[in-house]
Amino acid sequence: MEDWEILTEAEAIEAAIDRHGEDGTTSVAYCALESWGDRGDPEYQFWFALFLKLIQREHVGWA
């Protein structure tokens, strides 16, 4: 995705949804998969970290 590095987290989630048409977590996961190939790639790290943050947020209070 172009210009991913200038997006806030909220903007990145919105851009991911616009691109993939799914819920935020799934769309962000798709973006991470698209940039996958080199785990050291900053774009992959950005999307994967955001995905992990969304997953953790969904499971807060889950017991």
User: For the residues 32-58, what does the mean pLDDT come to?
Assistant: 90
Give the C-alpha separation, 29 to 43, whole Å: 12
Model confidence at 2, pLDDT cuts 50, 70, 90, reads: confident
* 52: containing domain: 4-59
Query: How many Å apart are CA 37 and CA 58, to the nearest integer?
Result: 27
Domain count for the chain, please give it: 1
- Range of lowest pLDDT (2-6, 13-17, 18-22, 58-62): 58-62
C-alpha 13/C-alpha 43 separation (Å) is 14
pTM: 0.84
CA–CA gap between residue 33 and residue 36 (Å, rounded): 5
